[in-house]
Structure 1
Amino acid sequence: MKSGLDDVIAAETQLSDVDGAAGRLIIRGVSLDDLVATSRYEDVSALLLGGLFQEGFDAGKLRALLGPARVALFDHVAAADPALLALPPVEAMRALIARLEDGEDFNAAIRLMAAPAVFLPAVLRLKSGKAAIRPDASLSQAADILRMLNGTLPTVEQTAGLDAYLVTISDHGLNASTFASRVIASTHAGLTSSVLAAISALKGPLHGGAPGPVLDMIEAVGKPENARTWLAHELDRGERLMGFGHRIYRVRDPRADALKAALRPIVTAGQVDDTRMALAEAVEQAALALLRERKPDRPLETNVEFYTALLLDALGFPRDAFTGVFAIGRTVGWIAHAREQVLDGRLIRPQSRYIGPVPRAA
């Protein structure tokens, strides 16, 4: 028995390959570097879902279908009553997704890809006392998300930044939420059930709940010259440095570099304070140096959470919504894994080893 199922192969997949030793992520035969450089959300979605449904489609058709789907789903926002809005954003978003019917077909997949993109911005605006904004079917998924969140059309740099994020986190092997999606799919419960299970796994702080504290850490440091002293004090207290280390990667998380590159044009265009970026880079360098000194036998490099926090903050998302934004991008991966499981897999039913008391003989 291996705690946490370390090194246990639980599925064969054509969707993504995470090479932790080399620091490489491949999605359907394309490296992450190439994907981020050439693709938008609709492109990577078409890549992931290709061959998993009877319908033929490309990125253009997906964009044409997602726009009207977002508009149709907006009616569900009316169900966001005060009790629902009192929940954390990701839980409120999950509650609205739970209103959608289950199904295994292509239409169900389109609805689920569009749903979090509509529901999260609506929930965030309603929680802040503003009116939710109806989707615009003519826009791309990334551009419409930012328009519904901020109330204005995003800049080219902002749209490209969110697209880069959605592409970067679209799929990542058999992580906890993806495994949850496949387990539910193996029962043939339907795609909505698979996505809801995945969101429930994602919101746990050990999986998708860590980017927000990265900003807390950077703000606590305050100035670049304070970085080493502040971080050393945290390590002395036995605290983790948020945004560093990963269960799989033994070298730098390739997604961190992709997101840092996506953030740079927003900073250069003057759409976010460049002093914040300079502070973040100082914190990153000080943290990496300290971790190599203090833990020389344990590789702890920058992970996806560090620049996720900075990018999403620059785009206008509050930090308590970061997990929900992650779900917007990862939903297509969850759907792809669910379909792969239904088409090629069996009911997932592992064994357990009983270690409790045994009956005494009479």
Structure 2
Amino acid sequence: MTTKKKKTGGLAGVVAGQTAICTVGTEGKGLDYRGYSIFDLAEHATFEEVAFLLLYGELPMIKELDSFKARLRSKRALPEAVAQTLEKIPATAHPMDVLRTGCSMLGVIEPENSFDDQLPTAERLLATFPSMLAYWHRFVTDGTRIDFESNEDGIAGYFLEKLHGKAPSDLMREAMDCSLILYAEHEFNASTFTARVCTATLSDMHSAITGAIGTLRGPLHGGANEAAMELIEKFSTPDEAEAGIMEMLANKSLIMGFGHRVYTVSDPRNEVIKGWAKRLGEEVGDTVLYPVSERIADVMWREKKLFPNLDFFSASAYHFMGIPTALFTPIFVLSRVSGWAAHVIEQRSNNRLIRPGAEYIGPGSRDFVAIEDREPDGGMV
């Protein structure tokens, strides 16, 4: 009697390691960072508090937070060599490639010389990614070389200020801050696992984060918010959106921004970002995008029982903040670097090389045939 092997394509259902950083998908819908509910963090914390929690293991005291934020502010400026590298990247490049290149270049200019440097290195990346993205975007858009001085205390306000050349509204600053919290960490997702695999070889922080960015660039991991925005913008009214979605479903077209590999009941982050999208839409006088988004979500639930994930309403929220669609996924990086770095640090604390096995499905044992004796196969010459 033979036993049928359980399929593990994509490592679904396989426990690849232990972590004390995050729990995701508990009862199909939960998300906690180091034991704290995402709802509590989104409502009561700032992104800097959450980043500190992920990197250092506990929420900061007031003095610790003040010191942490001061360090981040002092680390925003880009080395001249990094700025020059960014200026050489064409406007046609995907902004994810910009951050991947910027991270790698920063690692050349400011290498992590030992693991004792890991926390300062993580803070430097957390501080500089907003600068990299805004610097390149402004340079290729209108030739502006932004300066890095700012009165903005937090990363959210700083990024929006440098992106637009002016201070954001309070609502936009708060919404962006909350968005960064929601995207900060998500257990062993593809990009995080990439970072841990790289780290397990005892490679450096910059290599691990560069690999994570490259993984996030793939449309099956990052990019759903960009695809969601492109979808939403196709429709002028909720009724038009419903008809369009019904046609897409009939044609079995892929609709991004719905469902999740881990969550089975709902994405808890969606509930939070949806509220911010509604408020932002009201602030900018939107009468189309948010109603269209709501109708699409309603149809997807009614027809397929698929719930919107974080990416879907993040799309309209970012649009209302004046952020170009191509920058949506890179904003993910500005946040998730805190989680990635936390996983790099955790992997190093109890490291073992990550090397899974594979089930071989190729041909059986074969005799070698000298090249002059090989018969043509399938008409090949």
Q: Under a length normalisation based on structure 1, what TM-score does the superposition of the two structures give? A: 0.91
Q: Does 1:122 align with 2:135?
A: yes
Once the two structures are superposed, what CA deviation does each residue of 1:218-265 show, in whole Å capped at 9, x if it has no partner? 122221122322111001111022211111111121111111122333
Alignment deviations for residues 276-327 of structure 1 (CA, whole Å, 9 cap, x no partner): 22222122212221224xxxxxxx2111111111111112221111111111
| Equivalent-residue separation in structure 1 for 2:218 and 2:319 (angstroms) | 20
- Tell whether the 8 Å contact from 1:66 to 1:137 is kept in structure 2 after alignment: no
Kept in 2: contact 1:147–1:153 (CA 8 A): yes
Structure 1 gaps, min length 5: 293-299
**Aligned counterpart, 1:109:** 122
2:299 match: secondary structure:
helix
Q: 1:73 to 1:161 in 2, by over 3 A?
A: farther
2:316 aligned partner: 310
The answer on 1:276 being equivalent to 2:284 is: no
**Which of these residues, 241, 251, 258, is aligned with residue 272 of structure 2?**
258
The answer to whether structure 1 residue 219 and structure 2 residue 233 are counterparts is: yes
Aligned to 1:334: 340
Deviation at 1:74, TM superposition (A): 6.8
Q: CA deviation at 1:137?
A: 5.0
Q: Which residue of 2 aligns with 1:296?
A: none
Structure-1 separation of matches of 2:291 and 2:46:
28
Q: Are residues 1:181 and 2:156 paired?
A: no
State the Cα distance separating 1:83 from its structure 2 match.
Answer: 4.1
User: Which residue in 2 is equivalent to 1:13?
Assistant: 19
> What letter is aligned with 2:357?
Q
Choose the corresponding residue for 1:208, options 222, 226, 229: 222
Alpha-carbon distance in 1 for matches of 2:141, 2:285: 22
Q: After superposition, where does 1:122-201 map in structure 2 within 5 Å?
A: 122-139=135-152, 140-201=154-215
Letter in 1 for 2:186: H
Residue 289, structure 1, aligned to residue 302, structure 2: yes
For residues 153 and 313 of structure 1, the distance between their equivalents in structure 2, rounded to whole angstroms, comes to 17
Q: Distance in 2 between matches of 1:302 and 1:195?
A: 28
Report the Cα offset of residue 27 of structure 1.
Answer: 0.5
Name the CA distance, whole Å, in 2 between partners of 1:72 and 1:233.
48
Q: Is the 8 A contact 1:17 1:25 kept in 2?
A: yes
Unaligned ranges ≥5, structure 2: 1-6, 369-381
Amino acid at match of 2:136: V
Distance 1:196 1:216 in 2: 27
Q: Deviations over 1:43-77 (max 9, x none)?
A: 1011101159xxxx833222111111002457622
Q: Which amino acid aligns with 2:338?
A: V
The alignment status of 1:100 with 2:113, answered yes or no, reads no
Deviations 1:105-126 (A, max 9, x none): 2221111112211111112112
Please give the root-mean-square deviation of Cα atoms over the aligned residues, in Å. Answer: 2.0
**Secondary structure in structure 1 of the residue aligned to 2:32:** strand
Change (3 A) 1:308 1:261: same
Indicate the residue corresponding to 1:41 in structure 2. Answer: 47
Q: Determine if contact 1:108/1:191 at 8 Å carries over to the other structure.
A: yes
Q: What displacement does 1:31 show?
A: 0.3
State whether residues 166 and 329 of structure 1, in contact with CA within 8 Å, keep that contact through their aligned partners in structure 2: yes
- Tell me, in whole angstroms, the C-alpha distance in 2 between the residues paired with 1:267 and 1:356: 55
Partners in 2 of 1:61 and 1:137 — Cα distance?
A: 17
Residue of structure 1 equivalent to 2:10: 4
Q: Which amino acid aligns with 2:142?
A: G
Render the CA deviation track for 1:79-122: whole Å, top value 9, x for unaligned: 22344443211101211111123423222111111221111111
The residue identity in structure 2 corresponding to 1:81 is E
Code of the residue aligned with 1:3 in structure 2: it is G
2:242 — aligned with what?
Answer: 228
Query: How far is the alpha carbon of 1:192 from its aligned partner?
Result: 0.6
Q: May I ask how many residue pairs the two structures share in their alignment?
A: 351
Instruction: Answer with 1 or 2: which has the greater Rg.
Output: 2
Which runs of at least 4 in structure 1 moved beyond 3 Å after TM superposition? 72-75, 81-86, 358-362
* Residue matched to 2:379: none
Residue of structure 1 in register with 2:371 after alignment:
none
Q: Evaluate the alpha carbon distance shift between residue 310 and residue 335 of structure 1 in structure 2; reply closer, same or farther with a 3 A threshold.
A: same
| Percent identity between the two aligned chains | 30
Measure, in 1, the Cα distance between the counterparts of 2:31 and 2:78: 35
1:320 to 322, 326, 329: 326
